[in-house]
Amino acid sequence: MSESNNSPVGSNNSSSAESADAAARSEITDSGVDQGAMPKHSWLSRLYTGTGAFEVVGRRRFYYGLTGALVAIALLSIILRGFTFGIDFEGGSRIQFPAEGGVETSEVETVYSDTLGFEPVSVQTVGSGASATVQIRSETLNATQINDLQSALFDEFQPKDKNGNPSAQAISFADVSETWGGQITKKALIALIVFLVIVSIYIAIRFERDMAVAAIVALFFDIIVTAGVYSLVGFEVTPATVIGLLTILGFSLYDTVVVFDKVEENTRGVLHLTRRTYGEQANLAVNQTLMRSINTTVISVLPVIALMVVAVWMLGVGTLKDLALVQLVGIIVGAYSSIFFATPLLVSMKERWGPVAAHTRKVLSRRATLAEKGTQTVAVGAPVARRAPVAPQPGVRPTGKRNKKGH
């Protein structure tokens, strides 16, 4: 047995990937290759090449805990805080007027409360500079209340019309009935349900049962977490929010399909092999698509960030912030779920019963046997004892041949 610098073989409590490496090292011990001399690559190099160095499936308990924590926080926020539905869903009145000269929202709230005797639902300033406007959302107002509020706002802030002259007509009013808001809510829910049904049918046809279940569960995770973030932040839920939600669900599904397609390719015929398990092949697939998922997510997030910075913060187009926030959160959550949740969930379902579970037990048993034999033969990592040199006897050549005198 030649000398080896390998570390000890992992025990049964190590992860499946570590067991694979240990078995591979034990099988090449006799080759005499110095494993310590092999080059070590940086994590960026391993990330780019996708060699399977990042353990995702093997650490699935950690990611299950993180996923559960995110879902718990989201559900608690939804139950305790609820949502701030926009006027399109709940109905009411919207009052808007120019905000030249830096009108403070607190002053507007005071004028509204003193005039009508109750507070508005929300007051916000949209835009900046000469294009800035104040938008007031309130419950539905009657004609008398509208006239009183219009007069009070004009007396206090003197808004100007398009010609630059102070005018009460610069204050606009718009009503949205509760019936119309209910219709919008119903149509939004129908659109979401139809989308999920179509997606479920597609995934069931495209992939086998366990992959379809894992992908659908990941989609529901995306919906719950994105909705929870909306509840935490307190942004108004508008039709743009529903549109953005459907968009990010499509993105999440796309990323999941890409990962599962690679998993399906890597695990094809794995049951006929005895060196690697289904989970290890799935983990390799995740590594091979990880860089692609990161690139796709970054490229998708950058325009959304630009939309939030330029349109919302710099130009003050408040109507775009709902769409921007749901897309930003949804893209990040969708990328996380396809890599760190959907694939580990798929492996867990596969390894719980059926032929994949039997194959995994067979591979791990074989590795345990190889590790035990290797430990009994030579302690891996310990130098092999070398035979001490024998001093030449008198009259004997170092080669061991007799001299001419026959001694």
What Rg, from alpha-carbon coordinates, does the chain have? 34
Question: CB-based contacts of 142: which residues, under 8 Å, 6+ apart?
Answer: none
As given in the structure block, the two tokens for residue 265 are 């390719």
Name the β-bridge partners of 84. Answer: 236
The answer to whether 133 and 97 are in contact (CB under 8 A) is yes
pLDDT of residue 341: 93
Q: What is the dihedral sign for C-alpha 179, 185, 189, 194?
A: positive
- Continuous H helices in 161-238: 178-206, 209-233
Query: Which ranges of the chain have pLDDT less than 50?
Result: 1-38, 378-382, 384-387, 396, 400-407
The answer to whether 83 and 231 are in contact (CB under 8 A) is yes
pLDDT of residue 37: 39
Q: How far is the C-alpha of 4 from the C-alpha of 32, rounded, in Å?
A: 6
Greatest distance between any 2 Cα atoms in the chain: 137
The answer to whether 320 and 310 are in contact (CB under 8 A) is no
Domains of the chain by start residue, with CATH: 60-84+180-360 (1.20.1640.10), 92-176 (3.30.70.260)
The answer to whether 252 and 219 are in contact (CB under 8 A) is yes
Question: CB-based contacts of 379: which residues, under 8 Å, 6+ apart?
Answer: 8
Name the β-bridge partners of 175. Answer: 93
As given in the structure block, the two tokens for residue 33 are 């290759």
pLDDT of residue 129: 65
